[in-house]
Amino acid sequence: MGRRKKKRMVEAEPCAVFYKPQGIPMRELESLMLTVEGLEALRLVDGERMQQIEAAERMGVSRPTLSRILTEARTTVALALSGGKAIRVDGGEYLLASETCCKRKHRRRCQMPTATGQAADKVTTPSPVEDDNTGE
């Protein structure tokens, strides 16, 4: 049994969670999953041109961990773009750095509807005191 993954800090919930090639019906598309922390790593390093060590500090992970997250995210995006596949941004082990999402000032949990029409409830904000005694 491996140890529990350390949650990564992300600045905000993604405002869009699905990307697809234009002109291809959804029923004909295969989709690949990009984790929320993978998108955050791409945003910080590739979008904001931040050094990996600085991005790792912002996400609360080591530089080698950020590098692994980034490699996986880049691979997912490259395979989707080159293979005409959709990208679904979902899942991962993360906490919101702020208590807002998508610049809409939602508090505590993102109440924006998901594709199924239900509010997203898997993201929680960090508690003031972490007491898991794992040394992470």
pLDDT in tens, 17-40: 999 999 999 899 999 999 999 999
Q: Which two tokens stand for residue 53?
A: 């060590």
Residue 19 within a domain: yes
Residue 90 within a domain: yes
Residue 70 within a domain: yes
Domain that holds residue 71: 8-96
pLDDT tens for 36-88 read 999 999 999 999 999 999 999 999 999 999 999 999 999 999 999 999 999 99
Dist CA 63 CA 61 (whole Å): 7
* Total domains in the fold of the chain: 1
Residue 102 within a domain: no
Report yes or no on whether pTM surpasses 0.85: no
Residue 133 within a domain: no
Residue 43 within a domain: yes
Identify the pLDDT of residue 89.
Answer: 96
Residue 69 within a domain: yes
